[in-house]
Amino acid sequence: MGEDGVRRGEGRLGRAAWLAALYGATGLCALAVAAVFAFLLYFAAPVFVAGKAASVLSLAWRPMDGAFGILAMAAASLALAASAMLIALPVGIGLCCFICGSGAPTAARLALGLVRFMTSIPTVVYGFVSVFALTPLVQIAFRDSSGFCWLTAGLTLSLLVLPTVVLLLEGPLRLAWERTELVAAALGLDTARTLLHVVLPLARRAVAAAAVLGFSRAVGDTLVALMLAGNAPQLPLSPLDSIRTLTAHIALVVSTESGSRAYNSLFAAGLLLLGTATAVNLAMQFLLRKPA
């Protein structure tokens, strides 16, 4: 009895240590995010005083005329990320359904292996290949387009984000499939109906997490937008328009400016990016606050 008590005490101590480590890691992550937010807020604050806020929170980016508007780039970032997710999320869900249940085992393993291999390809390779492969196709299909536009960047970005969606969703979807496969078969449901009406609703939180992290990955990407979107600071009104995202804008200005008002406006752009990612996460948490 004494030995059992010692074991139980050791088990409680081990669990307490793990909980302390997890809470500590969570606290460090929260502090890191708060520190980044405070850093951006501190350096962005001068932009919003002395009557400069109107020039930053506008649509016009004309540094020579004192107009440092970033709203057109913010709209372009949201439009590009949303269009990429409109492609990547349905395709990712379909791939996960194929991998976890509807596909032949060999084909499913090959598909999962290909997706995992895609994560090892550098972003610049996606952009470089698209410049020489996808851009000419867009030019041929749409004579009025240079090929460096929202459409080209969105298609490439969807391919870049796809592994994030699939790898986040595959594990929970497979677990839900294994838990419900026999029950669904006993009820007479085929594989497609089981995946659509049983497995996906059970994995809705995983779908939401994949959507949020995929969107954050898309809105934070720099190279694809820099190489393929055309870098014109204007509102995205057509898929064939050249656009400039906030991340590409930051990279372009940092490479040519330092200490100027244009440079200072970049901290407002960074603050807007962080606020966008935070808002998307909070909105998804609000939508999923009811238990699954």
pLDDT at 254 over 50: yes
Position 6 confidence tier, pLDDT thresholds 50, 70, 90: very low
CB 111, CB 95: distance < 8 Å: yes
Q: Which structural domain range is residue 272 located in?
A: 54-287
Q: Supply the pLDDT for residue 11.
A: 62
Please write the tens of the pLDDT for every residue from 106-117.
888 898 899 999
Same structural domain, 18 and 88: no
Note whether 43 and 129 are same-domain residues: no
Establish if 292 belongs to a structural domain.
Answer: no
d(C-alpha 245, C-alpha 221), whole Å = 9
Euclidean distance between CA atoms 59 and 166, whole angstroms: 36
CATH number of the domain bearing residue 187:
1.10.3720.10
Paired tokens of 214: 């995929």
Q: Are residues 17 and 72 in the same domain?
A: no
Q: Say what percent of the chain tops pLDDT 90.
A: 24
Task: Identify whether residues 155 and 282 lie together within a single domain.
Answer: yes
In terms of Cα–Cα distance, which of 194, 198, 197, 175 is closest to 185? 194
Are residues 59 and 18 both part of a single domain? Answer: no
- Does 195 lie in the same domain as 219? yes
At 162-219, the pLDDT tens digits run: 999 999 898 888 888 888 878 877 877 777 888 888 888 888 888 888 888 889 889 8
pTM: 0.83
- Band (pLDDT 50/70/90 cuts) for residue 250 is confident
Asked if residue 211 belongs to a domain, the reply is yes
Query: What is the C-alpha R_g of the chain?
Result: 24
Residue 253's nearest CA partner among 243, 235, 242, 265 is: 265
List C-alpha distances in Å: 217 to 222, 224, 230: 10, 12, 20
Domain-located, residue 9: yes
Task: Please give the pLDDT value at position 46.
Answer: 74
* Residues 197 and 64 reside in one and the same domain: yes
Same-domain check for residues 36 and 64: no
For 88-114, give one letter per residue: b (16+ CB within 10 A) or e: bbebbbebbbbbbbbbeeeebeebbee
Distance CA 53, CA 67 (A): 10
Query: Among residues 32, 48, 64, which one ends one of the domains?
Result: 48
Within a domain: 81: yes
181/246 same-domain check: yes
Note whether 24 and 70 are same-domain residues.
no
Q: What is the 3-state secondary structure (H, E, C) of the chain?
A: CHHHHHHHHHHHHHHHHHHHHHHHHHHHHHHHHHHHHHHHHHHHHHHHCCCCHHHHCCCCEEHHHCEECCHHHHHHHHHHHHHHHHHHHHHHHHHHHHHHHHCCHHHHHHHHHHHHHHCCCCHHHHHHHHHHHHHHHHHHHCCCCCCCCHHHHHHHHHHHHHHHHHHHHHHHHHHHHHHHHHHHHHCCCCHHHHHHHHHHHHCHHHHHHHHHHHHHHHHCCCHHHHHHCECCCCCCCCCCCCECCHHHHHHHHHCCCCCCHHHHHHHHHHHHHHHHHHHHHHHHHHHCCCCC
Mean pLDDT across the chain? 83
Q: Point out the domain boundary residue: 16, 31, 48.
A: 48
CA-CA distance, 75 to 243, in Å (whole number)? 9
Count of domains in the chain? 2
Structure tokens at 92: 């990712």
Is there a single domain that holds both residue 62 and residue 164?
A: yes
Q: Is residue 118 part of a domain?
A: yes
User: Is residue 14 domain-shared with residue 30, that is, in the same domain?
Assistant: yes
> 134: which 2 tokens?
């996808």
